[in-house]
Amino acid sequence: MKYSTIKEKIDLIKSKKISLVENVKFFLARIEEKKKLNAFNFVFEQDAISRAIEIEKKIISGKHGRLAGAVVAIKDVLALKNYPLTCSSKILRNFYSIYTATAVQKLIDEDAIIIGKTNCDEFAMGSSNENSYFGIVLNPYDESRVPGGSSGGSAVAVAADLCDFSIGTDTGGSIRQPAAFCGLFGLKPTYGRVSRYGLTAFASSFDTIGPFAKNIDDIALVLNVISGKDSKDSTSVNYPVPDYIEALNEKKKFRIGLPKEYFTEGLDNEIKIAIDNQIEKLSLEGHQIEEVSLPMTEYTIATYYILTTAEASSNLARYDGARYGYRSENSTNLEDMYLNSRSEGFGSEVKRRIMLGTYVLSSGYYDAYYRKAQKVRRLIKEDFDKVFNKVDLLITPTTPTVAFKIGEKYENPLEMYLSDIYTTSANLAGIPAINIPIAKNKDGLPIGMQVIAQQFSEEKLISFSTNFKY
Ligand code: GLN
């Protein structure tokens, strides 16, 4: 590739040093060549080429959007009008969107080229991309390993050079964890920063949309484009969006907290050493580092899996075989039609979550589980509020291990859930966090570091990330 950022690419097209059409054809050929990785559910060859012809002209004439010609892959949980929206589920395998998600529309309006929709865990439930109706996704660093999930296809699309950047979603770590496993920057914004309109709901009070890229400049640019209030999503917040590009030039020294609960047993030693090395460097460069405590950390996984399954059980009630999506043909009455459509249409992880969620919401258990978890969620948020009075940023590992083997955790859901141990807290608290790729382990597998900030402080994450340019 002759460029390393979207900005450079636009300049090269403008000066006719590269042809956008050729560039799009290059990506299409790579996608074909890397088909085995299974990163895409759908590829839009013809549309991508026609868009490239149109946008190349715009760039040369100087009248183009901020993402002109940038090739993007979109997680298949986001709506794009007249295109399939499957959420990697059998239940939606023949469903076409009737409108476009706001975040996706904003990319289109800035002249990005959508090359296809990426594979993911069914309804974004999973940490390994093994729960997909379209099959598992392979990690390009080692094809016997998972890419992480649920946005595994989006991560692989960038890591394997199948596009310039991609969009994923993060409900409990689904951008940061695959970014860590695939050696990428992946940013989960503050809840409410990016409109969720057109994102298929998993757990509505946790879901966020964000970018994957190989460099922080592209993350800043894409975040500029997709952020902001949207009248179609009442949870999007009317709060000023700073220019994240400016944050790239700020050379600040930060006060950084290391939450001691995130560096205990269970953390892979090579990951610990890699983070220790970075911390030492940061300290030498003048950042102020101190140990802090987030005492509620031990309750995050339990709280996350009670609340998200509760929300999922309610959100997924709409897939009943009656209105849209898969309908079982083997039913003689209405009740059977519901039962069979859902039994045949959903995969086993989704069913597990619906059952868990229905249980924690059922009368007699609601107070013991759901209501209690809501209270704990508040306490987790208060933990963060307290530490952010003292420090600007928190550094933690993103994942307890590097990318694990395909099949390694599939039969053991609890172990799978524990791979989200460091990421779910940011979703419980609604705060932004990023994965920064910092090293490779002895087998050449990527190691990620998570940086967390207070609500609406994405610019701090971006400015801090410039310390990790390669
Ligand atoms: N792995 C987590 C889960 O299975 C997170 C998923 C996500 O962020 N969408 O719920």
Does residue 460 have an active-site annotation?
Answer: no
CA distance 342 to 305: 21
Tokens standing for 164?
């310039």
User: H or E segment at 336?
Assistant: helix 334-345
pLDDT at 330: 85
CA of residue 159 to ligand 1 center, whole Å: 20
pLDDT at 119: 98
CA of residue 97 to ligand 1 center, whole Å: 23
DSSP state of 98: S
Does residue 174 have an active-site annotation?
Answer: yes
Q: Scanning the structure block, which residue is given the tokens 């990506």?
A: 27
Is residue 456 classed as helix, strand or coil in its secondary structure? Answer: coil
Tell me, letter by letter, the H, E, C secondary structure of 62-89: CCCCCCCCCEEEEECCECCCCCECCCCC
CA-wise closest residue to 287 among 96, 41, 451: 451
pLDDT at 470: 57
Query: Ligand 1 within 6 A of 124 CB?
Result: yes
Integer-rounded Cα Rg, in Å, for the chain is 21
Amino acid at 297: T
CA of residue 173 to ligand 1 center, whole Å: 6
Amino acid at 37: L
Which one of 150, 154, 196, 200 would you pick to mutate in the ligand 1 pocket, going by the greatest count of ligand atoms within 8 A of its CB? 150
pLDDT in tens, the chain (470 residues): 789 999 999 999 999 999 999 999 999 999 999 999 999 999 999 999 999 999 999 999 999 999 999 999 999 999 999 999 999 999 999 999 999 999 999 999 999 999 999 999 999 999 999 999 999 999 999 999 999 999 999 999 999 999 999 999 999 999 999 999 999 999 999 999 999 999 999 999 999 999 999 999 999 999 999 999 999 999 999 999 999 999 999 989 999 999 999 999 899 999 999 999 999 999 999 999 999 999 999 999 999 999 999 999 999 999 999 999 999 998 999 999 999 999 999 999 999 999 999 999 999 999 999 999 999 999 999 999 999 999 999 999 999 999 999 999 999 998 999 899 999 999 999 999 999 999 999 999 999 999 999 999 999 999 999 999 75
pLDDT at 265: 87
CA of residue 240 to ligand 1 center, whole Å: 29
Q: How many residues does the chain have?
A: 470
Q: Are 238 and 218 in contact (CB under 8 A)?
A: no
Q: Looking at ligand 1, which atom is closest to the CA of residue 151?
A: 9
DSSP string, 112-134: -EEEEEE--SGGG--SSS-S-TT
Is residue 107 classed as helix, strand or coil in its secondary structure? Answer: helix
pLDDT at 400: 97
Does residue 128 have an active-site annotation?
Answer: no
- pTM for this one? 0.98
Going from the N-terminus, what domains does the chain have, and what CATH number goes with each? 1-470 (3.90.1300.10)
CA triple 424-190-157, angle to 5 deg: 75
User: H or E segment at 40?
Assistant: strand 40-43
Q: Looking at ligand 1, which atom is closest to the CA of residue 149?
A: 1
DSSP string, 128-180: SS-S-TT----BTTBTTB---SSSHHHHHHHHTTSSSEEEEEESSSTTHHHHH
Query: Ligand 1 within 6 A of 127 CB?
Result: yes
